[in-house]
Amino acid sequence: MCGIVGYIGNRTAYQIIIKGLQRLEYRGYDSAGIALYDDEVRLYKCKGKVRDLERLTTGHPIGGTVGIGHTRWATHGVPNDINAHPHRSKNGKFVIVHNGIIENFAHLKNELTNRGYTFESETDTEVLANLIESIYLENKVSVEVAVRIALSKVIGAYGLVVFSADEPDMVIGARKGSPLVVGIGEGEYFLASDVTPIVEYTDKIVYLKDEEIAVIRRDNFKLTNIRNDSMTPDITSVDVKIDNIDKGGYDHFMQKEIHEQPMSITDTFRGRVMPDKNTIHLGGISDVLPKLVTAKRIIIVACGTSYHAGLVGEYLIEEFARIPVEVEYASEFRYRNPIISSDDVIIAISQSGETADTLAAIRMAKEQGALILGICNVAGSSISRETNAGVYTHAGPEIGVASTKAFTSQVMVLTMMAFLLGRKRNIILPEQYRALIQELVHVPGYIEQILSHEEEIRNIAAKYKDATNAIYLGRGYLYPVALEGALKLKEISYIHAEGYPAAEMKHGPIALIDQNMPVFVLATRDKYYEKVVNNIQEVKARSGKVIAIVTEGDTTIRRMADDVIEVPTTPEALMPLLTVIPLQIISYHVALMRGCNVDQPRNLAKSVTVE
């Protein structure tokens, strides 16, 4: 996925676009570019980050009140100056920025080649720029009509912004499958992949729907669909504070987001969990609650960290509500012809609400009559709009590529859901319900306690920063946390790490253990405790290094493990919310000590809007 910014108005477009690209850099950061119109099109682009683009433009003309910009996560073609966006058509009539994949680009490219077009880059986007231009020149139609005809020939996904040197007082935005939003100001308009570059200037936002085309001039905004039917823009007022999208005094977004968790989790349950009344109310799913309570089966679909949250959800819902739950990688589920009935409830979990596989999975399940619910963080995102009902996590914008607060907020939603369903199905009795709710609201305070030990945890991280491999072990509720801990370490520090159910260690992974292997063991006091203690001994007997996450006051494991990190006592169902915190902190510090870019790890992008 990539980040797109467009501007038309009366201010200098350059600053707005550069700042917007910086805010969107979490979406992709292998190259960046900008095209401005100031009597002529000025195009600057390069491999690297937005700061490299700024360097490139230094000393060059950057005037103009119309422009488009892009920060890229490569799909077609390696990251280099030529493949960077914007792309200009052969005769210089059009410049375009694009997020998504044009699946029939090879076919379109052949057709254009036969008509004399040549291409500089390896990208599908340059093909689109030339397709629009060829239609414009050969059919002698307007810029708007050329864009519309071109898009009707495209198979695949796009969020794009394009403008023409022949009509530079107009920019056109369009979406199909990849997000694009329009911000409406006074005599100015903004386009972007999400609202973060826009909220500084206006809170009036239109989330484009699939196959909608926005034709924007300084004084008006026309919305149509691809067939040119007029559409009424649905103008939403967004409430995203600038503080939420800045580092707020922290060195990195990831660090800030780790530290925000007491607050983000509180925001997740605020107004939903009422400890004084012993109630949980999830307004977003209240209309469909009867169907959820009587569901024969729940299928959770998600990717990455959200999938790990889904696994915690499986343990929670099966234990407390006794409804069978399956958790599936969305990318597998969508293609394996799963058996879905109208008695099933599908829950899609996605921080961004834009993950292509998760979106496709719910579309497929919807066609088969299942009720589709969403657990999303980004309001107005595609998944949140395509689900029948859902619960927002309200974690606030998550900018760090490595997901932290989104995970804990997703788990919090699933916890509330499991407790609510359990009570409605009379599996949780009133007294237990009361006790669980009272404990739930203590979680933010417990996380504060863990965060206050960051310095000790950092010292432990320092001991293992040079490891080349790591193993994470957990059982029950803590098995998904082991997976999540391993994912955090590998994605930002590039240390190879794997998570396993602790009991599986003997079935293969134990062969890897030697004196160089750090083994992170989630070993809190729960029903598996004695067994996990045995696993620790097995690792120690093979000279492995054990870093154990234990319940406060545990002296047994302290005697065996090389390093111990304590978390407060809480019921085991709530332990994922606590035990993941030290693992996030360790990953963050290990990555920093290894000189890695924690907020923008190599090869990654914040959300994966392509297959």
Interface contacts to ligand M6R, rule CB under 6 A: 303-306, 350-352, 355, 358, 401-403, 487, 491, 607-608
- The CA-atom distances, in angstroms, between 561 and each of 473, 494, 535 are 14, 25, 11
The answer to whether the beta carbons of residues 477 and 527 sit under 8 Å apart is: no
266 or 305, CB closer to ligand M6R?
305
Q: State in angstroms the smallest separation of the CB of 138 from ligand M6R.
A: 41
Pair type for strands 235-237 and 220-225: unpaired
Nearest CA among 184, 219, 189 for reference residue 7: 189
3-class SS of residue 542: coil
- How many angstroms separate the CA atoms of 530 and 475, rounded? 11
| Comparison of 257 and 563: residue with beta carbon closer to ligand M6R | 257
Nearer to ligand M6R, 164 or 415 (CB): 415
Structure tokens at 191: 């386009």
Alpha-carbon span 231 to 229, nearest angstrom: 6
Contacts of 221 (CB under 8 A, 6+ apart): 182, 184, 189, 206, 214, 215, 233
Residues with catalytic function: 2, 606
CA 276 to chain centre: 34
By beta-carbon proximity to ligand M6R, the closer residue of 352 and 600 is 352
Residue placing its CB nearer to ligand M6R in the complex, 88 or 606: 606
Contact 134, 127 (CB under 8 A): no
Measuring CA to CA, which residue among 335, 364, 368, 337 is closest to residue 348?
A: 364
Give me the residues paired with residue 14 across strands. none
Report the alpha-carbon distance of residue 194 to residue 179 in Å, rounded. Answer: 7
Kindly write down the DSSP assignment for every residue of 280-331, as one continuous string: E--GGGGGGHHHHHT-SEEEEEE-HHHHHHHHHHHHHHHHHH---EEEEEHH
* Shortest CB 1 distance to ligand M6R, Å: 10
Instruction: Kindly state the smallest distance separating residue 54's Cβ from ligand M6R, in Å.
Output: 26
Find the shortest distance in angstroms from Cβ 475 to ligand M6R: 23
Residue 176 CA to residue 334 CA, distance in Å, equals: 19
Q: Shortest approach of ligand M6R to residue 393 CB, angstroms? A: 10
What is the number of other CB atoms lying within 10 angstroms of the CB of residue 149?
16
Taking the complex as a whole, the smallest distance from the CB of residue 397 to ligand M6R amounts, in Å, to 12
Indicate the residue among 352 and 551 with the shorter CB distance to ligand M6R.
352
Q: Which residues pair with 501 in a beta bridge?
A: 474
Distance from C-alpha of 359 to C-alpha of 301, rounded to nearest angstrom: 9
DSSP 429-456: -HHHHHHHHHHHTTHHHHHHHHHTTHHH
C-beta of 121 vs 607, nearer to ligand M6R: 607
Specify which residues 167 forms β-bridges with.
164
Q: Residue 16 corresponds to which tokens in the numbers above?
A: 């707005």
Of the pair 306, 551, the CB lying nearest ligand M6R is at 306
The CB-of-288 to ligand M6R minimum distance in angstroms stands at: 22
Q: Whole-angstrom distance between the N-terminal and C-terminal Cα of the chain?
A: 10
Distance in Å, CB of 383 to ligand M6R, minimum: 8
User: H helices then E strands: how many in the chain?
Assistant: 20, 26
Residue with the shortest CB distance to ligand M6R: 304
Min CB(342)–ligand M6R separation in Å:
25
Closest CA to 326 of 358, 298, 294: 298
Nearer of residues 87 and 488 to ligand M6R, judged by Cβ? 488
Note the Cα 486 to chain centre separation in Å. 18
Q: Which residue, 184 or 492, is less far from ligand M6R as judged by CB? A: 492
Q: Are 313 and 327 in contact (CB under 8 A)?
A: yes
Q: Compute the least distance from the CB of residue 19 to ligand M6R, in Å.
A: 24
Residue given tokens 């291409």 in the structure block: 119
Residue 161 near residue 147 (C-beta atoms within 8 A): no
Smallest gap from residue 534 Cβ to ligand M6R (A): 31
Nearer Cβ to ligand M6R, position 16 or 302? 302
Residue at token pair 């253990």: 513
Dist CA 561 CA 522 (whole Å): 12
